[in-house]
């Protein structure tokens, strides 16, 4: 069997001619040591400057010594090395391995600049393990595609140049060069799923089918092609079902699609707005609970980093909403000062009162002190002098504000009288000394608050001489 072809490695990376830097994710293990040494052999043929990055998770007593080994390896070859130390603290129920990986790739994302590459040493046997893990999880074609050769990462790109090469080739290169590497004892722990496949399952499969890793990798490529076709179809259909609101889908249009296409369109939609994709269980819940819900219902399907909600005919994706302010919260607001700005709690931004200086009353009178409250049940408001007094929920409905966003709306009171609901409506006043102006609600987050509330409304406040 031919050995690792370093010239072919340089040719692969030649597909990225604009690369300014080429970073190697260097753990110090055999695979990444081989990749870094092989690239050093052809460094003059690479499109960018070769560098290495080592992430010290601090999970093993020897981790600092491992970082020193990596530094010595790079010093011997005059390869610049960046060492990043992180602290990994998994939450209850989280996999330490998964949390460490997420933290590691967070470092990589922050490190990469525009037109920079991060190379990892994943190889054909790793790909076979990834496919088997996906099969055991019951993944669809997207998951069975396993690891792509190349993918966006932060401002740069992730590349796996060894993905088509077997572990035996990499081990032979390491032996021929006399490379020294780190043996992480956790790689031998067969209570971890990937290690169990690597040490127990794949050797048995290879005894019976010697080319099993290559064959499984080929299946992953077929699944990647199928997943690409499905994604392409979904992206073609997506514009036809996008809703009028930002980050929304038209439920009426979506339910006309076949169920498999509905799932594909939902994934394409979430990707469009940069949200983490749901697993099969959450995807089924969206189709079974949210789509058929009554237009006035408030169904919610949530997973880490994303919430799916419904309002009228719109399906909405959003970052998780913070806890709404407490009903008992009272915030005094003196608007005599200029500028009259009140910082709101949480991520709700600020309120600003801008008086109408063209009105003669503004120069003669001072506005009375106000108070901001939230989610006051039973309130009523008359939006026009000639109109009827209506329940506040009617004004929210007329403004198109979903009931699950209403607790976040700042309500401005003068004494016990409701003056305005920021972003929704002003209450018509009968004050003789009324002072006209504009109430602005700015800097609000997350996204849904900007999508459903007005930025400014005209208000008349009571004034005193």
Residue entry with tokens 């002072």: 435
Q: Which residues contact 437 (CB under 8 A, 6 or more apart)?
A: 353, 354, 355, 356, 362, 458, 459, 460, 461
Last residue of a domain, one of 276, 294, 318: 318
Q: What is the pLDDT of residue 52?
A: 98
143 is in an annotated binding site: no
Could you tell me how many residues make up the chain? 465
Please state whether the predicted TM-score (pTM) of the whole model is above 0.85. no
Q: What is the pLDDT of residue 447?
A: 67
Residue 252 Cα to chain centre, angstroms: 27
Same domain? 312 vs 341 = no
CA torsion sign for 283, 285, 290, 293 is positive
14 is in an annotated binding site: no
Same domain? 61 vs 200 = yes
**To 5 degrees, how large is the angle CA 401–CA 407–CA 410?**
90
32 is in an annotated binding site: yes
At 248, which CATH number?
Answer: 3.30.465.60
At 163, which CATH number?
Answer: 3.40.50.620
* Within-domain flag for 235: no
214 sits in which H/E element: helix 212-241
Residue-by-residue pLDDT tens, the chain, 465 positions: 456 889 999 999 999 998 999 999 999 999 999 999 999 999 999 999 999 999 998 888 888 999 999 999 999 999 999 999 988 877 777 778 888 889 999 999 999 999 999 999 999 999 999 999 999 999 999 999 999 999 999 999 999 999 999 999 999 999 999 999 999 888 888 988 999 999 999 999 999 999 999 999 999 999 999 999 999 999 999 999 998 877 899 999 999 999 999 999 999 999 999 999 999 999 999 999 999 998 788 899 999 999 999 998 999 999 888 888 898 899 999 887 777 899 998 888 899 988 876 665 554 556 678 899 998 888 888 877 666 789 988 998 888 888 899 999 999 998 888 889 998 988 876 655 567 788 899 877 666 666 788 888 888 776 555
Same domain? 50 vs 165 = yes
Helix ranges restricted to H, 293-427: 360-364, 392-399
Same domain? 189 vs 108 = yes
* Within-domain flag for 140: yes
* Within-domain flag for 232: no
Same domain? 312 vs 422 = no
Q: At what angle do helices 6-13 and 30-41 cross, to 10 degrees?
A: 80
219 is in an annotated binding site: no
Same domain? 212 vs 289 = no
Domain that holds residue 292: 241-318
Same domain? 256 vs 222 = no
Report how many domains make up the chain: 3
Same domain? 362 vs 246 = no
Last residue of a domain, one of 198, 226, 254: 226
Q: What is the pLDDT of residue 460?
A: 76
* Within-domain flag for 186: yes
Same domain? 276 vs 355 = no
Same domain? 412 vs 446 = yes
Last residue of a domain, one of 226, 253, 278: 226
Same domain? 217 vs 193 = yes
* Within-domain flag for 325: no
30 is in an annotated binding site: yes
Q: Are 427 and 376 in contact (CB under 8 A)?
A: no
Same domain? 311 vs 420 = no
The two three-digit tokens of residue 55, written as one number: 């992430």
């Amino acid at each position: 069997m031919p050995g690792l072809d370093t010239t072919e490695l340089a040719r692969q990376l030649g597909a990225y001619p604009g690369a300014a830097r080429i970073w190697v994710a260097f753990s110090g293990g055999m695979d990444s040591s081989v990749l870094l040494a092989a690239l050093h052999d052809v460094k003059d043929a690479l499109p960018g400057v070769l560098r290495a990055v080592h992430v010290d998770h601090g999970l093993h007593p020897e981790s600092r010594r491992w970082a020193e080994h990596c530094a010595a390896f790079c010093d011997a070859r005059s390869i610049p090395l960046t060492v990043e130390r992180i602290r990994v603290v998994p939450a209850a129920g989280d996999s330490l391995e998964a949390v460490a990986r997420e933290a590691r790739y967070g470092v990589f994302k922050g490190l990469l600049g525009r037109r920079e590459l991060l190379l990892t040493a994943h190889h054909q046997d790793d790909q076979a393990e990834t496919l088997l893990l996906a099969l055991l999880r019951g993944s669809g074609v997207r998951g069975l595609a396993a690891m792509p050769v190349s993918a966006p990462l932060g401002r740069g790109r992730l590349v796996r140049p060894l993905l088509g090469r077997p572990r035996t080739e990499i081990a032979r290169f390491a032996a021929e060069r006399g490379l020294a590497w780190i043996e992480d004892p956790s790689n031998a722990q067969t209570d971890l799923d990937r290690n169990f496949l690597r040490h127990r399952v794949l050797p048995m499969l290879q005894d019976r089918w010697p080319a099993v890793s290559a064959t499984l990798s080929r299946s992953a490529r077929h699944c990647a092609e199928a997943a690409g076709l499905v994604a392409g179809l979904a992206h073609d259909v997506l514009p036809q079902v996008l809703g009028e609101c930002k980050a929304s889908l038209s439920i009426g249009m979506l339910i006309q699609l076949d169920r498999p296409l509905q799932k594909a369109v939902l994934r394409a939609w979430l990707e469009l707005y940069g949200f983490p994709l749901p697993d099969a269980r959450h995807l089924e819940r969206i189709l079974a609970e949210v789509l058929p819900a009554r237009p006035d219902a408030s169904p919610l399907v949530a997973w880490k980093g994303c919430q799916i909600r419904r309002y009228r005919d719109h399906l909405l994706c959003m970052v998780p909403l913070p806890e709404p302010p407490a009903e008992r919260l009272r915030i005094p607001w003196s608007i005599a000062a200029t500028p009259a700005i009140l910082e709101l709690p949480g991520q709700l931004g600020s309120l600003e009162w801008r008086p109408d200086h063209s009105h003669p009353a503004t120069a003669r009178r001072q506005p009375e002190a106000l108070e901001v409250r939230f989610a006051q049940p039973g309130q009523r408001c008359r939006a026009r002098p000639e109109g009827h007094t209506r329940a506040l929920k009617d004004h929210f409905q007329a403004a198109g504000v979903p009931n699950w966003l209403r607790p976040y709306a700042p309500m401005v009171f003068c004494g016990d009288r409701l003056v305005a609901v920021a972003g929704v409506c002003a209450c018509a006043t009968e004050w003789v000394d009324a002072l006209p102006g504009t109430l602005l609600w700015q800097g609000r987050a997350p996204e849904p608050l900007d999508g459903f509330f007005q930025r400014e409304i005209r208000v008349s406040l009571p004034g005193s001489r």
